[in-house]
Structure 1
Amino acid sequence: MKLRRKYQPGGVKPSSRPFHCSPLKVILWLCFSVSLLYNLYFLDFLDYSITPNNIKYYLSKPCILNIEEHENEGNTSLRHLVFGIAGSSRTWSERQKCIQLWWRPDEMRGAVWLDKMVGYGIDDHLLPPIKISGNTSHFKYENPIGDRSALRLTRIVSETLKLGLNDVRWFVMGDDDTLFFPDNLIRVLSKYDHDQYYYIGSTSESHQQNIVYNYGMAYGGGGFAISYPLAKALANMQDRCIERYPGLYGSDDRIHACMSELGVPLTKERGFHQNDFYGNIFGILAAHPITPLVSLHHYSVTNAIFPRMDKLEALKKLIAPAKLDSAALLQQSICYDATRNWTISVSWGYAVQIIRGILHPREIELIARTFYSWYQTVEPEGFIFNSRPYYEHVCQKPFVHFFSDVSYNISTDQTLSEYIRQDYPYPRCEWKMADPLPIARVEVRKRPDPYVWDRAPRRNCCRILPTEKNDTLVVDVGECREDEFIEVR
């Protein structure tokens, strides 16, 4: 029996009435929709096991029901980047190990440019292809302390462009001892229009280095990116430009000279790290600026970033948290344990510091000078950033807990990272307050937020959580709630 709506005189006639579903049609449509959603959800999500290799799928995959977002091919991704890596046959056997840490053979394009061919190894499939730089013997090189290899390295952008790869938006330059964090690199480059002329990177952290070379230059070891149209413009004039600057030292200042002739300034992004330091760069990593970590350079001249580890193994350890939440890597959060009068500083994925007494955010966000400058000095005026002594009183020497492990709980959508106290002698303190020494372990709970850098930059807040474990401190890190700010409560 058909269900009919009774026609009311003076009303809208059935033939001209707006579209209306009968109750039976509504029920059938709801059943179909529920069935469709059920299949989409279970086929797309539950057939994947949670392993370190595919956990990023869950953290970055857009909702499959948002068709417009799911099918949007306009977003910049790794397939739009081409890497040009400056290398040398003399150091290749060692430096290739650094590249293996971040290179993704199935997702990335590019090449390592060497002065001559080297022997093939069993891990070559894990590395970019090797290309041999063109002859530069006809160019003048007059710098008394430099090396002619700077000339061939200057031309990597042009030679990589000539490879003729399709659908390129950015050329990314780096050294063979540069550790890139590819997901964060994409986050940074996605902010810019790749159809415009962009030259993106950062300067040295050494004031004197920038005085000797240039504050407007992107340092090659930290890496830099050049948009495709700018790379084409550079290739058209680069060889003539190189001839005009025979006295310059390196490849990066020659690139900068050509950029000056093209009228393109450096767009500075602080996540590219030249790392012109010697010694222990703990202070740098524990107070990273509020920006995505894009690169680290000079691992061979600085200490291992984790204690009692080989330098490359220490870098590899940093990759583990990056796989789960690269957007949060090294981001500093500051909070207080008011009952014990402690300051807590979390550098997510790297270290947690417990400091006796109250240090205000304005102090604790300063980089602690645990390192030497490129010129073997420790004076604060030698750096381009504000800094502070590692500690000014023996009672304020930080109790440092280094990253140990991380896991992801799909039911709570949280990572649980573990930090273990560094085992070394701490000075005796006469202050009448709780001693952090019994805290052997710190747990940090955090919900991954792959889109955090799509919003205005802001430091995450952290909160001390209750626990019955006397040897453990539990901290929650996350986006600051409404009206929340960092204060002693």
Structure 2
Amino acid sequence: MNNNLKDHEHYFHSSWTIAKLTTSFFLLVSICYLFYSLGFITHSYDCPPKKPYPHPTTTHFSITPTTPAPPQETQKPFEKTNISHIVFGIGASSKLWSQRKEYMKLWWRPNETRGNVWLDEEVRSEPGDETLLPTLRISSDVSMFKVKNPRGERLGIRISRIVSETVRLGMENVRWFVMGDDDTFFVTENLVKVLQKYDHNQFYYIGTNSESHLQNIHFSYNMAYGGGGFAISYPLAVALERMQDQCLQRYPALFGSDDRIQACMAELGVPLTRENGFHQFDVYGNVFGLLAAHPTTPLVSMHHLDVVEPIFPNANRVEALQKLIGPMRLDSYGLMQQSICYDKARFWTISVSWGYAVQIFRGIFLARDMEMPARTFLNWIRRADYTGFPFNTRPFSRNVCQKPFVFYLDNAIYDGVADETVSEYILVQPNPDCKWKMPDPTQIRMIRVHKKLDSHLWDKSPRRNCCRFQPTKEEGTMVIEVGECRKDEYAD
């Protein structure tokens, strides 16, 4: 019994001793850690400073193209894309060049824009053309490529290779290659604004589809239509140049240049980034309905100018486009942008397409309907009806009383005192008589629109501008102010 008590006592004292030693050890460690944290204990050596992580924009991946690519650009790290960073590649035909070059003279900016027109053979230049137009070049021979499309020609192959041939020129400080046709009209300021949204160091293929649903089905909804224009970022263009000729041999049954480009983009794994400001205009007739209800996005391009009617009445195609130059230079961001408001006293609906036209409708039309293009045009596929458009449209009313009074742009200036643009629109074509007992818009002879410049219009979330009626003592004149919507303001 005594022995058992001694054993328990010995065991208790041994456990207590171990516990005290353990507690003392952890206490000593805690005190040392505290002193270390307070800086009282230091190492006898210096730690090397940490290397900063590389900034993503300074990382470059080198590839070896089949032909020398342009040197990497050297510019300020955060410099915004501007017109000097864009190189145009324009596909052209020697047979049509003499008339189509007049379109290019309207938008080309000598000593600012860069690019080349690629022709199938030499053309005769007229005096002054060298200073008003891009450099003319002859495309290389494409007779070695197979063509199996029954309607196909090697024209599509030649045009599709413009990207690669432009890359091989070795031009410096290039961020984007923009393709278009010789009958394409570009609004270069808006093109720059659109491309500023994207990182040119990444792979981007930017454009949009056709206005014809059947065309998109036949070719591809994943394809940027070349006439409307599309943009390819520099590194993607270099990658395309490396593989394009081999890629083209795999698609002899394709028809055009843009579907061949898209096929190669599919092999590179690059999808289409859609921007609705590029306009293929795969339509016939009058594109007024499309322009008067332009989507809320910058107007970038218009194609098929030889096919559609002049965008202004009583003018030929070049003269009509020339009328756009004034408002385009004043405020390209606001060009064609729609605003909707209501004159409730006279029961009228007003639609402003800034820089182009103003419409007055008898009656109240909901904004949801007004933002749909009126069908003033026909589908590219003649047998197709309104279901052949890949976007919503509304019928152009046959009721003479619901036919809009259309006031077309007559003049546009900048008022430096008021710091705003002032554009005037006049009624060019009379409307049929209407027997409705309500105020008659024929009493309006001119509409004046005041608009502040907004250089940040497309830096904000997209929204239509609002319009407001302004009092005037001028008989036969309507005055409207267009601008950013105020708090709680909307088209009602």
Cα deviation 1:243-286 (Å, max 9, x = unaligned): 00000000000000000000000000000000001111110110
Does 1:444 pair with 2:429? no
Identity %: 58
- CA–CA distance in 1 between the matches of 2:264 and 2:111? 33
What is aligned with 1:366? 372
Aligned match of 1:111: 116
Contact 1:325 1:448 in 2 (8 A): yes
**Cross-structure match for 1:316:** 322
Aligned to 1:174: 180
User: By how many angstroms is 1:448 displaced?
Assistant: 1.0
Aligned to 1:395: 401
Pick aligned residue for 2:437 from 432, 444, 456: 432
Q: Contact (CA 8 Å) 1:369, 1:378: kept in 2 or not?
A: no
Within 2, Cα distance between the matches of 1:317 and 1:428?
30
Task: Give the letter aligned to residue 347 of structure 2.
Answer: N
Distance 1:311 1:120 in 2: 22
CA contact (8 A) 1:371 1:378 kept: no
Cα-Cα RMSD: 1.1
Equivalent pairs counted in the alignment come to 416
Aligned match for 1:198, one of 196, 201, 204: 204
Q: Among 384, 390, 410, which residue is 1:384 paired with?
A: 390
| Separation in structure 2 between the aligned mates of residue 392 and residue 301 of structure 1, nearest angstrom | 25
Q: Distance in 2 between matches of 1:209 and 1:465?
A: 45
Matched, 1:214 2:220: yes
1:98 to 92, 95, 103: 103
**What residue number does 1:351 align with?**
357
In structure 1, what is the Cα distance between the partners aligned to 2:123 and 2:398? 51
Q: What secondary structure is seen at the aligned counterpart in 1 of 2:121?
A: coil
Please name the residue that 1:120 is paired with: 125
- 1:58 equivalent in structure 2: none
Amino acid at match of 1:90: K
- 1:35-434 to structure 2, matched below 5 A, reads 74-122=79-127, 123-377=129-383, 379-391=385-397, 393-424=399-430, 426-434=431-439
> Are 1:399 and 1:422, in contact at CA under 8 Å, matched by a contact in 2?
no
Alignment partner of 2:443: what SS?
Answer: coil
Distance 2:112 2:222 in 1: 32
Unaligned regions of 5+ residues in structure 2, if any? 1-75
Amino acid at match of 1:408: Y
**What is the alpha-carbon distance in structure 1 between the residues aligned to residue 255 and residue 401 of structure 2?**
46
1:117 Cα offset (Å): 1.4
1:18 maps to: none
- Deviation, 1:124, is 2.2
Tell me, in whole angstroms, the C-alpha distance in 2 between the residues paired with 1:431 and 1:118: 59
1:319 CA drift (Å): 1.6
- Structure 1, 378-387 or 432-441: larger mean CA deviation: 378-387
Distance 1:289 1:269 in 2: 10
**SS in structure 2 of the partner of residue 335 of structure 1:** strand
Shift of 1:320: 1.3
How far 1:314 moved relative to its partner?
0.2
Shift of 1:73: 6.0
SS at match of 2:469: strand
Q: Secondary structure at the match of 1:225?
A: strand
**Please, which of 458, 462, 468 is the counterpart of residue 473 of structure 2?**
468
Equivalent-residue separation in structure 2 for 1:79 and 1:150 (angstroms): 28
Counterpart pick for 1:454 among 450, 459, 476:
459
Using the TM superposition, give the Cα deviation of residue 393 of structure 1 relative to its aligned residue in structure 2, in angstroms.
2.9
Q: Which protein has the larger Cα radius of gyration, Structure 1 or Structure 2? A: 2
TM-score by length of 1: 0.84
Secondary structure, aligned partner of 1:394: coil
Q: For the residues of structure 1 that align with 2:451 and 2:383, how far apart are their CA atoms? A: 38
Amino acid of the residue matched to residue 341 of structure 2? Answer: C
Query: Which has the larger displacement, 387-396 or 288-297?
Result: 387-396
2:485 equivalent to 1:484: no
Q: Which residue in the other structure is 1:34 paired with?
A: none
Amino acid at match of 1:96: K
- State the shift of 1:392 in Å: 5.1
Secondary structure of 1:229's aligned partner: helix
Runs of 4+ in 1 over 6 A off after TM superposition: none
Indicate the SS of the match to 1:346.
strand
Letter in 1 for 2:194: V
- Aligned equivalents of 1:79, 1:130: Cα separation in 2: 19
Deviation at 1:377, TM superposition (A): 4.7
Cα distance between partner residues in 2 of 1:360 and 1:164 = 53
Question: How much does 1:429 deviate?
Answer: 2.0
Give the Cα–Cα distance (whole angstroms) in 2 for the partners of residues 96 and 422 of structure 1: 29
Per-residue Cα deviation, 1:164-216 (whole angstroms, up to 9, x for no partner): 01110000000000000000000100000000000000000100100111011
Q: Secondary structure at the match of 2:439?
A: coil
3-state secondary structure, aligned to 1:475: strand
**Structure 1 residue 427, shift from structure 2 partner:** 2.6
Q: What is the match of residue 23 of structure 2?
A: none
Number of the residue aligned with 1:35: none
